Amino acid sequence: MISWKRTKNEQNVPVPFGYCEFETIEGVLRCMRLMNGMFLYGKSLEVKFSEKTQLFIRDFYEIKKKELMSESTLDSPSARQRQRPHRKRSQRRTHGAAD
């Protein structure tokens, strides 16, 4: 988290609302996962994001999903078989009597 600012009303009294700035998208997601619904002083904390941040999170998930899909295709048995060098029969070692 980079910064946290709690807002105040016209009488300069803090209200149950504030703004938080994060350095990374992972920090935003961690905050959402850990703090949303957390009870603080007897009240449930609600974490909300601006529309811009929501779009950024959606795009981040789409990028990660594509990365995982491409990695999973590389890890598939057929992909591993394509990557594995094939040895010719004459290169295989045989166990038996020495010549």
Domain containing 73 — which CATH number? 3.30.70
Domain assignment present for 21? yes
Burial class (CB in 10 A: 0-12, 13-18, 19+), 28: buried
Work out whether strand 3-8 and strand 39-40 pair parallel, antiparallel, or are unpaired: unpaired
Domain assignment present for 41? yes
Contacts of 3 by beta carbon, 8 Å cutoff, 6+ apart: 19, 20, 21
Domain assignment present for 95? no
Domain assignment present for 28? yes
Write down the pLDDT at residue 85.
Answer: 54
Domain assignment present for 88? no
Range of the domain at 13: 3-77
Q: What is the mean pLDDT of each run of 10 residues along the chain (99 residues)?
A: 88 87 87 89 87 89 88 63 53 49
Write down the pLDDT at residue 83.
Answer: 55
Domain assignment present for 54? yes
Write down the pLDDT at residue 99.
Answer: 43
Domain assignment present for 60? yes
C-alpha neighbours within 13 Å on the C-beta side of residue 53: 16
Domain assignment present for 37? yes
Q: Which of 28, 9, 6 is nearest to 19 (CA)?
A: 6
Structure-block tokens of residue 80: 């591993």
Write down the pLDDT at residue 59.
Answer: 92
How many domains does the structure of the chain reveal?
Answer: 1
